Amino acid sequence: MAERDVLEALIDKLQDPEFQSSIEKLVTLLDNMNKSGLLDLLVTVTDPDVINRLMEILITTGTMKLLDNLDTLLDKAGDMVEAMTQPTEPVSISKLLAELSKPEVAKGLGKLIKVLEALGKD
C-alpha cells in the first residue's frame, strides 16, 4: 500500500463518528486513570525490571507445585468446608479410637501429621 493510500485510509478512519466516539472514550479513560493514580501504577508495574522481579518471585518450585495441584487442593478445601458445616457431637476417647479404624480417618490423620511436620521445619 502506498504512503498516500495509508494516509487516506487513516483520514477516512478519523472521520468515522464511531471511531471518534471510541477515541473520546479512550481519552476519558486515560484521564480518569491518571486522576486516580492507576495510570502511574500501571506504568510502574509494566516496567520490564518490575515484571522480571515479579516473575522471579512468583515462578518458584513451590508455586508451580501449587498450581499443578490447585484443582485437587480446591476440591479438598470444599470437602473440608462441607464436613465442618455438618452437625457433630462430642467425641469420646473410645469413639476416637473407633474412628481411627476407618481407612479414611487414618489416612487423613497421616496427612495431617505430614502437614504438621512441614510447618515445623525451619
pLDDT tens digits, residue range 68-113?
999 999 999 999 999 999 999 899 999 999 999 999 999 999 999 9
pTM metric for this prediction = 0.44
Three-state SS for the chain is CCHHHHHHHHHHHHHCHHHHHHHHHHHHHHHHHHHHCHHHHHHHHCCHHHHHHHHHHHCCHHHHHHHHCHHHHHHHHHHHHHHHCCCCCCCCHHHHHHHHCCHHHHHHHHHHHHHHHHHHCC
pLDDT one-digit tens code per residue, 32-64 = 999 999 999 999 999 999 999 988 888 888 888
